[in-house]
Structure 1
Amino acid sequence: MKSGNGHIICIPGQRICEASSSHIAGEGTYAFNKYIYASLAGQVTVVPRGDVQVVKVTLGQQGTVMPEAGSIVTCRVLSVNPSKAIVSIICVGPNKLHTPVSGTIRKQNVRDHQIDTVEMYDCFRPDDIVLAVVLSLGDMRNYELSTAGTELGVVTAYCEEGHPLVPASWTAMKCKCRTERRKVAKVMPPKNANT
């Protein structure tokens, strides 16, 4: 990875490069299993610091972009009940929204298999960061969202004690003290085979 690239766009959970003695995780990233991953949607930059390169992700440009059907959005979960999760959409693609908008992930749109066995609290918790796709503009400017698909779901979460959770499987995330159930997004492969 070259220093100061600043043009690579990433989404939360995307693998950026290998973590090594020469490349370390900085702001907007985290290291897991010898790789550096994005924890934000935005631009990847590499900043030299002495003998090491610090890999950072900065938020995309704020703008007037609004979600539309088919858009991939980054959301923060506000509340969860047995039939749906209420979310705040904070980014459309790499673009941070000036004002977050509301969205809903209904039980039938969490995954595309075994829909009748979905337990919403086993999929999302308040404050989780989720990647979803916009299905439609629902009523009252409340977007209908879906996390059905392996690349969609929870990308950033914290346990009840506040420790960061990392993916353990498609249905669980773990930290140093516990394992919690989630609808986990598949970690994205690197964009460039050289990273």
Structure 2
Amino acid sequence: MAYPSIAIPGQPLGLSSQYASGPGTHVQNAHICASILGPVVEYAQDTKASSGKTRDSPPPVLSVQRSAQLVSNDAALTNVLPEVDAVVLARVTRINPRQATVAILVVGETVCSDEFQGLIRVQDVRATEKDKVKIFSSFRPGDIVRAQVISLGDQSNYYLSTAGNHLGVVMATSDGGNTMYPISWKEFKDPVTGVTESRKVAKPF
């Protein structure tokens, strides 16, 4: 499988039979998966063992760099602006009963050099039963969300939507500080404590 140029936590990158797991990745169900947000890098393993003997050709290593490492030259500093219909990754910064405020980190596959502020209003969380949506059951501060830009909004905010199966929370940390995994379209589970927490979950890749 072809791996993406930018990975989000939990995203499969390749088969563990074809690649070795490097920094920023882990192995799950025979797949190399991203553990952090950032660009995917492939490199060859050292073909010499500690004894100095050449080993059989080992599989290449897949790793994920932290997104801050992208800004390595002047070209990388050119910021990309979110546009209507663009899919973005954002971090939830605060919530209230009417909306979640987020900081947009990635537009498409381009990591932003500056953060843009966006809003996910309660009516834009999901496509059905909008009158039953509760922001506090959908998002928590610190969550990483995949969303779609639906309006350029006002001068300070982009309006975003998670009303799609592929949109919603892609990474969440439990109250106990552990990275959780999705178990349904509306719940994440803490692998350490076993406690579940409500979220508007994005369908995994």
Determine the C-alpha separation between the residues in 2 that align with 1:173 and 1:95: 27
Structure 1 residues 130, 30: CA separation in 2 closer, same or farther (over 3 Å shift)? farther
Which segments of 5 or more consecutive residues in structure 2 lack a partner in the other structure?
A: 47-57, 71-75
* Pair member with larger Rg: 2
Indicate the residue corresponding to 1:23 in structure 2. 20
Amino acid across the alignment from 1:183: K
Identity of aligned residues (%): 38
Pairs aligned (count): 183
Which segments of 5 or more consecutive residues in structure 1 lack a partner in the other structure?
A: 189-195
Give the TM-score, by structure 2 length: 0.78
Larger mean CA deviation between 164-173 and 31-40 belongs to 31-40
Match of 1:122 among 137, 154, 171: 137
Match of 1:155 among 160, 167, 170: 170
Q: Residue deviations 1:124-158, cap 9 Å, x none? A: 00010101100111122200000111111111111
Q: Residue deviations 1:29-56, cap 9 Å, x none? A: 4444443333555532233445564322
Give the TM-score, by structure 1 length: 0.82
Q: Decide which structure has greater strand share.
A: 1
Secondary structure of 2:184 counterpart: coil
Amino acid across the alignment from 2:173: Y
Indicate the residue corresponding to 2:62 in structure 1. 55
Determine the C-alpha separation between the residues in 2 that align with 1:152 and 1:10: 17
Match of 2:156 among 141, 145, 148: 141
Match of 1:93 among 99, 102, 108: 108
Cα RMSD (Å):
2.4
Structure 1 residues 116, 42: CA separation in 2 closer, same or farther (over 3 Å shift)? same
Higher relative contact order (CA 8 A, sep 6+): 1
